[in-house]
Structure 1
Amino acid sequence: MSYAVSVRTLCEFAARRGDLDLRFHLGPSAQEGMLGHRIVTARRADHYLKEIPLQAQHGALTVRGRADGFDPESRRLEEIKTYRGRLRDMPASHSALHWAQARVYGHLMCRKLNLNTIELALVYFNVATGRETIRSQECKAADLEDHFNALCGRFLAWALQEIEHRRQRDAALQALQLPFEGFRDGQRTLAKAVYRGLRDRTHHAIQAPTGIGKTMGTLFPALKAMSEQKLDKLFFLTAKTPGRKVALHALQALQGPRLMPLRVLELAAREHACEHPDKQCNGQSCPLARGFYDRLEGAREQALKEGMLDRAALRRHALRHDICPYHLGAELVPWCDLVVGDYSYYFDVGATLHAQTVVQEWRTAVLVDEAHNLVERARAMYSATLRQQDVRALLRLLPAAPRAAFGRRRTGTEAPASAKPVPEQVPLWLEAGPHDVQADTAQPAGLRNALDSLARNWQKLIAGQAGAQPAQAAPPEPLLQSLRQAAGALSDHLEQADDSTHDEALRLYFEVQHFLRMAESFGPHSLFETTAFHQSAGGDGFHECSIRNVVPAPFLEPRFQAAHACVLFSATLQPKAFYADVLGLPESTAWLDVATPFSAEQLQVRVAGGISTRYADRQASLAPMVELIAAQYARKPGNYLVFASSFDYLHRLAEAFADRHPSIALWVQSREMDEAARADFLARFDASGRGIGFAVLGGVFAEGIDLPGDRLIGAFIATLGLPQVNPRNEALKQCLEASFAGCGYDYAYLYPGLRKVVQAAGRIIRTPQDAGVVYLMDDRYNRPAVRRLLPAWWRIEQARAAPRPAPELPLPPVLSAAQGQADESARHARGAA
């Protein structure tokens, strides 16, 4: 059996040594890197060869890759690297890796053409100046072969181990059995669709009711198909942390007491995995980056023996070897079978899982949990915002510029005179000029000059503006040109920044780079918006400009195409056209609506048609909703959830209820709740307890939580969940209308609102034994257009009017032992409001 490895993976595995150092990689984006390669190769002669596929065998190892360029007349093979900043600041570990790759490609080329010698050249292309720096050396084929054999020898033992792991993994997956007696109702239908989709390489969008076990119903058939279809990787992607935990729990159940040879890796966000957030990611600053690659081999080998690498296990192995847990996780991705992580790891702009899938040519299956969330998450990924106050904050930290650098003060729109003119940069978007091979000696403009220029162009943009402005066709070019110059200056500054400015400069650098990337791909799928804020009492105002993505389909389509098959599943994936249009699902996507295993008798759905929750009626709606909630609680005491459309509305309703019924325990969601606070909120829903939780519709407690049995017996939903009508949402509607004629209002308002309602109601029935009640508190639920978007199995009736006033209820016995519990809950609700 042969094991295939790319040149890049081989060299990164066997040739890297020294510190982890991200400073030199701050500059080019992936798009800039590809464009830089095209510019360099376009400057070469007509006989120059580009992207040459190369391959060689070393025992059971197949090494393959594509050389950037080769000149057959001079016998020079070029490895092109793009960068920003100063080349002399490149860490030695990076240079060593680059030469290792060039030498491997050199050996493969010598073998292909039967050459005795070859010239190897590292071509460093500065994306800010457009200049090349070339470092070359003449190499003998015999020396390159020795180098290649040494690397392969170092990797071969690992490759043989990986071959054996793959054999054992596939055998174990073929024998895999459900850890239960059988499938739940509806779960078998879901599992069949997932298995067939991966078998037939067909994307699926599956709507399946809550409570049937969608996580196990997708993971189990995907693992069975993984061995049969020879898949390299399985990615299980979630929108929120609870989804990752549910997936890991399901995988532990599948593993059973005898752990099968399946390597599972959980990827957490950098801010959750970083041990030293106050330090920079290089060996001079962070002790876990110092000597990272020297200790990586031992950490990697020990970690992969464990198999189930959740966040805690990954941290344990990393700290045992004194290396960074976050970057250890990234290094383990190529060697793990199943990765559990956030959507962003595959669908974001620079998503590492997608990039490696493409580069390594993996056969990958992607499972997207609670896929309705992908719409808003993807919109955020491909949106960008710049804040004027961030520029000002960094300027305040920089030392004052010499007076001569600014010249005399001008008025109007004239640019200030400069005693030292700013050198003109050669940006990537300009047509490639003549072949310019020289040392990297261009001196970039100072950071303060670049930020001052940005501030001037920004000020022209917002002159006379107050509040939000209508969406514009595209970001103005003068602003973009200033941002490009600022990005280059920030990159140079970060190469030598001290601690007092580094964090502010780094944050602004990434914001500017992301904005520029989104500007390069600006189109009818996005809006350019500007907003000016003015502080009172004579304070300076501030301004934001943003590129807001509305239709992420053009960005997501390549992600779907790169996968062997994708399965999107959720309790709310209707209407089909909305998700297909906005997400860019292929036309060949198979759609399935799994029938509910629950009966209408399990869930009483009641519409309070005499209540209006429209914005103008909200104050008047509080009293009747309070009495409706209290009346239901009096009929059947237990645990309930009340959902409102905003925190303001939620807290007003909670305060009104606490004032009228202080003896009923209640607890309220706040705007900023960490994981511990969320856990405390959910812990209040004890099976033997009684009380009412108040939460925001569409928030963390409205989906993805599991409170079966008596832990939750009812919900009250105050509103249709429709987004507020304002200029921002109206611009969204108009953009959607332009892309999908006749659907603007439904796509912008109706469908997202009703989706949140169905998700919240889905918290009630989680098992075949559950029963409960849902109150839909708004007269618009009686409209046919709204009813059609609610689950077909719901049997909807009109709610009985609540008695007025409802009697005060005694404190439930289960809470009477907690002294002052009801009073404390009421005070909490009033304080939160």
Structure 2
Amino acid sequence: MTIAEEGREHMEQPLIRISVRRLVEFILQGGDIDNRTAGADKDAMLLGGKIHRKIQRRMGAGYRAEVGLKYVVGCRGFDLQIEGRADGIIEEDGKVVVDEIKGVFKELHTLGEPVEVHLAQAKCYAFIYAKQNSLKEIGVQMTYCNMETEEIKRFQFVYGAEELETWFYEVAGQYEKWARYELKWKEKRNASIKGVEFPFSYREGQKELVSSVYRTILRKKKLFIQAPTGVGKTMATVFPAVKAVGEGLGEKIFYLTAKTITRTVAQQAFETLKEQALRLKVITLTAKEKICFCEEANCNPDYCPYAKGHYDRVNDAVYELITTSDDMSRDVIEEQARRWNVCPFEMGLDVSLWVDAVICDYNYVFDPNAHLKRFFGDGVSGEYLFLIDEAHNLVERGREMYSAALYKEDLLEVKRLVKQEDAKLAGRLEECNKQMLALKRECETYEVLDSVSHIYLKLMNLMAELERYLEECTEEEKRKKVLDLYFAVRMFLGIYDRLDENYLIYAELENSGRFKVRLFCVNPAGNLKEFLDKGNSTIFFSATLLPIHYYKELLSTQSDDYAVYAESPFAEEHRLLLLGTDVSTKYTRRGADMYERYAGYLKLVAQTKKGNYIAFFPSYQFMEQVYEAFAALTQDCEDMEYVIQSQYMSEEAREIFLENFEEERSRSLMGFCVMGGIFSEGIDLAQDKLIGAVIVGTGLPQVCRERELLKTYFDGKGYRGFDYAYLYPGMNKVLQSAGRVIRTDEDRGVILLLDERFRDTRYRETFPREWTSMWYCSLRNVEALMRAFWEQDD
């Protein structure tokens, strides 16, 4: 043990910081992973901020709330600073008591003693306060509050200062090896970063992009990058972020993506830098369902052997891995998890604490239910650098993550399921059902609501009963149904606490007959800010962030964010941009004649020059109609092949689909895909693997309830509501699809925009700068225009 006594004279040393909560949860964790306890206590903590404040206000004059405390433990070669906020310090009659408040849903009479890690938090604060105030003894009070009834149960203890000191140093001592590893690793990592150079010759505009990213991180700002496909955005953001980490401007990089395929590109960028002897640990987080060793991701010790005793072994498994390898690939994580008999998913999350870069889906950072509480939980922050790839996707993903809906029919189904065995739970469900029924009677199709506070209160009552039922239920099928409702209610309550001017509340009777109440996040920027503020700097980048003001409005709340437009490095004469004026995807114009016209375009495109093409459509239905017309039109053509995207493709099926474009062939290949789908962004078919994209329609979302509500909302804010609800999201899909064609200096290709609406000025305003020259065309002259382009190219 090398921990020195506090107050010992020592030279200035590096400082490692850790929160009290993280320290005790990390060192004292043990036992099984068990999803049969619904985890409502944790959820209660998320919802419990109001309860904390309410209890704190009720206390007398001798109660000080939210008292910041920190304590530095001197270690050989570094100082360990343990810090946090005590919920309350009570000073009365010469006695001092540390108060720790926890909100729970369970009935308090079932709580026989405090949860170990809760009490450990309080004991840490008690030790620090007693030490700093030279107290010989100090009280600890655990205050548990039922979230439904606001009933309170307290546990009280008195500890001698020496007893607490021995205990505290034992806990801190167990963390010392981890802190020492962190310090030594950062020294090695930072030394290696100094020698890393940009791995390629800079493309035109790429060096300026790298500089912009670095300056943004240096100034702790946000940057929006609109950069055409092929500029090399991934390396232009990863490289300066890595350099910034080496210079102490950030401690961890989060590379966030919306699609699996872009995660692979990010991995390759880090691997390319590591070829220069860079020491950097990088992990890509894999979804639980994909990495689970069992047939079903059922996380309880009776079903999964890796869940049983997981927490007893996982710290040793992680420590061995991080101290013996820089490779944190999925294969390595799975191998280590099998060796130590622990859950690979949970172990991966634990490993993420000790790596330098985390590649993951947006939801690991932003989703209030799925985010990494290790990094983004209440009261947790760090010097993170966020690199947000394909940032245009974050608008819709953000709306979905911060919205919630509750269906009347789901309440009723669970009520029928449990009414024979649990009258109390059935009663709570009936109370909620009655309130939904009252709203349904007043709703013909949909209705915007001012408030649903009455429903919120009843749902709070329901949560306690759902929690109790789930702990007692042993019938698996029934339990699953109740658990689904539990998660829906939890989500609704959590989102309700976020309601502000960026939300709309509405009730809707769907065409299916189901009735819902929806908390709809119209503008997710404020919610995203809550998590982005936990880091130092954010870089949003995409090939399609146009118009930039739209994305700034919906992804950030600040007016001083930076924005750069990277010019295309590719010669304009390598691309032929055609705009077909004799076709339309408007509903009023659809029919056999129009489908045949589109099929005629596709046939001419494929016959003019042998090669691979993809046609992108606004919907599966429209695609299938044109596909049938195309098949009929080309049935006698021996120089033509075609493949079509199906609606529910497995990863293997997607790979097989893309392999079609990698093969050598003697005939043209026409791919039929849906705009905004898995093949319209993120895929990289360079050179002759794809020489043309046909964009059928403007990509506008279908008219629906929420799109109309968005339109009305933004009209009311003084913006062009139609553009915000329909035009900008639609044109983003168009630009993403068009971006599949020109990927490298050697690429040549044609892009056909087939819809008369593209002539409209409002659509043209969203075109990228490099689309300076285009030709209007029709079925009569399109072949001649393409032939002239290809002959000039030859």
TM over 0.5: yes
1:407-439 alpha-carbon deviations (Å, 9 max, x no partner): xxxxxxxxxxxxxxxxxxxxxxxxxxxxxxxxx
The SS at the match of 1:596 is: coil
Q: Choose which of 467, 470, 475 in structure 2 pairs with 1:494.
A: 470
Partner of residue 460 from structure 2, selected from 484, 488, 493: 484
Deviation at 1:597, TM superposition (A): 0.4
Displacement after TM superposition at 1:288 (Å) = 2.0
- Specify the code of the residue in structure 2 equivalent to 1:32: L
Helix, strand or coil for the counterpart of 1:352?
coil
1:778-797 superposed matches below 5 A: 778-794=755-771, 795-797=773-775
The counterpart of 1:759, out of the listed 736, 751, 757, is 736
Contact 2:288 2:297 in 1 (8 A): no
Amino acid at match of 2:32: D
2:599 counterpart of 1:626: yes
- 1:43-83 alpha-carbon deviations (Å, 9 max, x no partner): 21112112222222222322222222111223111122221
Task: Verify: 1:44 aligned to 2:21, yes or no.
Answer: no
Among residues 692, 707, 713, which one is paired with 1:714 in the alignment? 692
Contact 2:44–2:103, Cα closer than 8 Å, also in 1: no
Partner residue in 2 for 1:643: 616
Q: Please give the alpha-carbon distance, in whole angstroms, between the structure 1 residues aligned to 2:782 and 2:399.
A: 46
2:317 equivalent among 291, 299, 302: 299
Please state whether the residue corresponding to 2:86 is helix, strand or coil: strand
1:29 deviates by: 4.3
Q: Does 1:32 align with 2:47?
A: yes
Q: Deviations over 1:139-185 (max 9, x none)?
A: 111111101111122111221121101111111112212333x2222
Measured after TM superposition, the shift of residue 709 of structure 1 is 0.9
Q: Does residue 82 in structure 1 map to residue 103 in structure 2? A: yes
Are residue 561 (structure 1) and residue 533 (structure 2) matched?
Answer: yes
Residue equivalent to 2:204: 185
Aligned partners of 1:162, 1:270: CA distance in 2, in Å?
Answer: 27
Go from structure 1 to structure 2 and tell me whether the alpha carbon gap of 1:448 and 1:280 turns closer, same or farther (over 3 Å shift).
farther
Distance 1:135 1:278, change over 3 A: farther
The partner residue of 1:447 within 399, 411, 425 is 425
The superposition leaves residues 488-540 of structure 1 with CA deviations (integer Å, 9 ceiling, x where unpaired) of 221221121222322111111111111122233333322223333466xxxxx
Tell me: CA distance 1:34–1:372, structure 2 relative to 1, closer, same or farther (3 Å).
same
Question: Percent of pairs identical after alignment?
Answer: 33
* Pairwise CA distance, 1:2: 2.6
Aligned residue number for residue 653 of structure 1: 626
- Aligned ranges for residues 73-152 of structure 1 at < 5 Å? 73=92, 74-87=95-108, 95-152=115-172
Aligned to 1:67: 86
Further displaced range: 367-376 or 61-70: 61-70
| Residue 399 of structure 1: how far off its partner (Å) | 5.0
Once the two structures are TM-superposed, the CA of residue 566 in structure 1 deviates from its matched residue by 0.5
Task: Please give the per-residue CA displacement for 1:719-772, whole angstroms capped at 9, x wherever unaligned.
Answer: 011123344422220011122x04211111211111111111000000011010
1:550 touches 1:736 (CA, 8 Å); kept in 2? no
Secondary structure at the aligned position of 1:528 is classed as strand
TM superposition shift of 1:353: 4.3
Q: CA RMSD in A?
A: 2.4
Q: Find out whether 1:531 has 2:508 as its counterpart.
A: yes
1:236 aligns with 2:208: no
Offset at 1:465? 4.8
Whole-angstrom CA distance in 2 between matches of 1:257 and 1:583: 35
Structure 1 position 695 matched with structure 2 position 684: no
- One-letter amino acid of the structure 2 residue matched with residue 56 of structure 1: Y
Which moved further from structure 2: 543-552 or 704-713?
543-552
Please tell me whether the aligned partners of residues 79 and 121 of structure 1 are also in contact (alpha carbons under 8 angstroms): yes
Mapped to 2, the partners of 1:211 and 1:661 lie a distance apart of: 34
Secondary structure at the residue paired with 2:533?
Answer: helix
> Is 1:577 matched with 2:554?
no
Q: Which residue number in structure 1 is paired with residue 9 of structure 2?
A: none
CA distance in 2, matches of 1:101, 1:745: 52
Aligned residues: 753
Q: Which SS does the other structure have where 2:420 is aligned?
A: coil
1:237-636 alignment runs, 5 A limit: 237-256=256-275, 258=277, 260-276=278-294, 278=296, 280-304=298-322, 305-350=324-369, 352-353=371-372, 356-357=375-376, 359-398=379-418, 400=420, 446-463=424-441, 465=443, 468-470=445-447, 472-498=448-474, 499-533=476-510, 541-619=513-591, 620-636=593-609
Hey, what's the Cα distance between the residues in 1 that align with 2:158 and 2:38?
27
In 1: Cα distance, 2:608 partner to 2:175 partner:
70
Shift, 1:282, TM fit: 3.9
Distance 2:440 2:189 in 1: 60
Would you say the 8 A contact 1:24–1:89 is kept in 2?
A: no
1:487 Cα deviation from its structure 2 partner: 2.1
SS in structure 2 of the partner of residue 376 of structure 1: helix
Paired residue type of 1:722: L
Moved more, 380-389 or 231-240: 380-389
Alpha-carbon distance in 2 for matches of 1:645, 1:354? 38
In the alignment, residue 489 of structure 2 is paired with which amino acid? V
Any idea what SS the aligned residue of 2:115 has?
helix
Question: Which residue of 675, 682, 685 maps to 2:658?
Answer: 682
Distance in 2, matches of 1:91 and 1:655, equals 69
Q: Distance in 1 between matches of 2:45 and 2:578?
A: 53
For residues 244-286 of structure 1, give each alpha carbon's deviation from its aligned partner in whole angstroms, at most 9, with x where no partner exists. Answer: 111112111211285x432212223333334447465343553
Tell me the secondary structure at the aligned position of residue 67 of structure 1: strand
Give the conservation status (yes or no) of the 8 Å contact 1:366–1:567.
yes
Question: Can you list the C-alpha shifts for 1:687-717, whole angstroms capped at 9, x where unaligned?
Answer: 5233111111111111111000111110111
| Change over 3 Å in CA distance of 1:89–1:596 after alignment to 2 | farther
* 1:653-698 deviation per Cα after TM superposition (whole angstroms, max 9, x unaligned): 1111112213432111122112111111111112523311111111
Does structure 1 residue 724 correspond to structure 2 residue 737? no
- One-letter code aligned to 1:655: E
Q: Once structures 1 and 2 are overlaid, which stretch shifts more, 763-772 or 148-157?
A: 148-157
Equivalent pair of 1:687/1:709 in contact (CA under 8 Å): no
Alpha carbons 2:225, 2:542 under 8 Å: kept: yes
Relative to structure 1, the CA distance from residue 453 to residue 583 in structure 2 (aligned partners, 3 Å threshold; closer, same or farther) is same
CA distance in 2: counterparts of 1:276 and 1:163, whole angstroms: 37
Q: Which of 24, 27, 49 lines up with 1:11 in the alignment?
A: 24
Tell me the alpha carbon deviations over residues 332-358 of structure 1, each in whole angstroms, 9 at most, x when there is no partner: 232221111111122222463477257
Q: Distance in 2 between matches of 1:278 and 1:160?
A: 38
- The SS at the match of 1:767 is coil
For 1:520 and 1:66, how far apart are their aligned partners in 2?
Answer: 23
Aligned residues of 1:379 and 1:550 also touching (Cα < 8 A):
yes
Contact 1:207 1:571 in 2 (8 A): yes
Matched residues in 2 for 1:122 and 1:14: separation?
A: 20
Equivalent residues of 1:525, 1:735 under 8 A apart = no
Shifted more, 183-192 versus 774-783: the winner is 183-192
Does the 8 Å contact 1:556/1:584 carry over to 2?
Answer: yes
The answer to whether the Cα contact below 8 Å between 1:628 and 1:801 also exists between their aligned partners in 2 is yes
Map Cα deviations across residues 278-323 of structure 1 (whole Å, 9 max, x no partner): 4653435532222112101221113323333233332222222111
Residues 760 and 486 from structure 1, CA distance in 2 versus in 1: closer, same or farther, beyond 3 angstroms?
A: same
C-alpha displacement at 1:804, in angstroms? 12
User: Any idea what SS the aligned residue of 2:255 has?
Assistant: strand
What letter corresponds to residue 514 of structure 2 in structure 1? F
The structure-2 alpha-carbon separation of the partners of 1:533 and 1:195, relative to structure 1 and needing over 3 Å to count, comes to closer
SS in structure 2 opposite 1:308?
coil
Provide the C-alpha distance between the structure 1 equivalents of 2:411 and 2:293, rounded to a whole number of angstroms: 28
Unpaired segments ≥5 residues, structure 2: 1-13, 785-794
- Code of the aligned partner of 2:621: D
Separation (CA, whole Å) in 2 of partners of 1:248 and 1:279 = 26
SS at match of 1:495: helix
CA separation in 1, counterparts of 2:511 and 2:568? 53
Q: TM-score, normalised by structure 1?
A: 0.86
Contact 1:640 1:693 in 2 (8 A): yes
